[in-house]
Amino acid sequence: MSKKKGQAKVRIYPDWCKGCGICAAFCPAGVLELWPDGKAHVVHESECVNCGFCELHCPDFAISVTPRETSRRKSDDEVDPRAEVAEMAQGTDPGPEENVGTPNREDEHGHKKE
Ligand code: SF4
Ligand code: SF4
């Protein structure tokens, strides 16, 4: 998780926020404020250090903090080879084999079929 400023998008869902103020009180970067409307608001998103505290401690799951997409593509030597293998395997996995069981060699009267 990145701890640099301005790396995260902070979103508050007002319908779920009950205005307890925990997020605003404990945000280390002053990103959040409790307003007179009784809801928390994002006031300085660019200061967010993506610590995740607000999202973790909001009792009503009313905050989401998501890392911003960076425009820079990873160079080849930064790519995790395991992730590449997982990507290549996607879509090629035939999935669990269907268990067809043993063929039914008896008819409904219990007589053996040839
Ligand atoms: S912690 Fe959650 S419920 Fe409390 S003010 Fe912040 S967003 Fe609203
Ligand atoms: S992730 Fe951390 S810095 Fe960002 S708004 Fe939440 S508590 Fe504040």
Report the run of H or E that residue 40 belongs to, with start and end: strand 40-42
pLDDT at 83: 56
Domains of the chain, CATH where assigned: 8-67 (3.30.70.20)
**Per-residue confidence band for 92, with pLDDT thresholds at 50, 70 and 90:** low
pLDDT, tens digit (0-9, with 9 covering 90-100), for 42-79: 999 999 999 999 999 999 999 999 998 764 554 444 55
Tokens representing 23? Answer: 């997020």
DSSP 17-38: -----HHHHH-TT--EEE-TTS
Mean pLDDT for all residues in the chain: 79
For ligand 2, atom 6, name the residue with the nearest CA. Answer: 54
Q: What is the pLDDT of residue 71?
A: 47
Task: Take atom 3 of ligand 1 and give the residue whose Cα is closest.
Answer: 17
Q: Which ligand lies nearest to the CA atom of residue 65 in the structure?
A: 2
pTM above 0.75, yes or no: no
